[in-house]
Amino acid sequence: MPKGGWQEFSSADSLARAPNPAKASTPKSQQMVRVQPTRGGRGGKTVTVIRGLELDAAGFKTLLKTLKSRIGSGGTAKDGIVELQGDQVELVLELLSKEGYRPKRAGG
């Protein structure tokens, strides 16, 4: 294929390298899930941050709902990060372990 040139139809070679849309996600036990308490930028309030979960939007929603109901506090999920109100690190570690993840405590 010429460098920088325009080509109307793609060649069969580039079709063979098309990404696979049905890519399997990483199993729960192999995901690097980190649980950390933090206060930065929240007016002195402590929140528990969960990072490293490889879930789709529906998966985040169901996991957040179960965590919030079992812990008894509020929270949100945005940009692949789950935030729960309060210092709930020990409870979150226990609940994620029961769900099949291998979470680790990060930070303080």
CATH number at residue 67: 3.30.780.10
Q: Is residue 10 part of a domain?
A: no
Domain count along the chain: 1
Q: Is residue 38 part of a domain?
A: yes
User: Average pLDDT of 16-30?
Assistant: 56
Say which residues have a Cβ less than 8 Å from residue 56's Cβ, sequence separation at least 6: none
For the stretch 98-107, pLDDT in tens is 988 899 998 8
| pLDDT surpassing 90 at residue 20 | no
Q: Is residue 16 part of a domain?
A: no
Whether the model pTM is above 0.85: no
Please tell me the number of Cα atoms within 13 Å of 19 on its side-chain side.
Answer: 4
User: What range defines the domain where residue 92 resides?
Assistant: 26-105
3-state helix, strand, coil in the chain (%, to 5): 30, 20, 50
Q: Is residue 21 part of a domain?
A: no
Q: Is residue 53 part of a domain?
A: yes
